[in-house]
Amino acid sequence: GIQYLTDSFRYIGAADKLINNDSLDYKEIQYSGYILLIAFFKLFSESLKGVIIIQLVFALISAYALYQIAYIITGKLLAGFIAISLYLINPFICSWHTYIMTESLYTSFLVISCWSLIRFLERKSSLNLIFFLCVMFITLCIRPNGWVLIPIALSFFMIDFFRNSFLKTLGVIAVITGFVLCIFFLPFTNRSIQNIGTQKILMNDVLLNGEVIPDHKELRVNMPRDSTLMKKNWTHSIYYIARHPLAYAKLATLRAVTELFQIRRPWYSAKYSLRWYFWLFPAYFFAMLGLFFFRRMISVKVILAIILAHLLIISVTFADHDARFLNYFLPLIYVLSGCGFTFLFYKLIPQGKQNS
Give pLDDT, residue 355: 56
Beta-carbon contacts of 132 under 8 Å, excluding residues fewer than 6 positions away, are: 113, 116, 117, 119, 120, 153
Mind giving me the DSSP string for 141-176?
HH-GGGGGHHHHHHHHHHHHH--SHHHHHHHHHHHH
Give pLDDT, residue 215: 86
Residues 2-50 have pLDDT tens digits of 999 989 999 999 999 999 999 998 889 999 999 999 999 999 988 999 9
| pTM of this prediction exceeds 0.85 | yes
Residues 180-202 have pLDDT tens digits of 999 999 988 888 888 776 556 78
Q: What is residue 235's three-state secondary structure?
A: helix
- Evaluate whether 99 touches 4 at the Cβ level (below 8 Å): yes
Residues 44-71 have pLDDT tens digits of 988 999 999 999 999 999 999 999 999 9
Residues 201-223 have pLDDT tens digits of 788 889 999 999 988 999 999 99
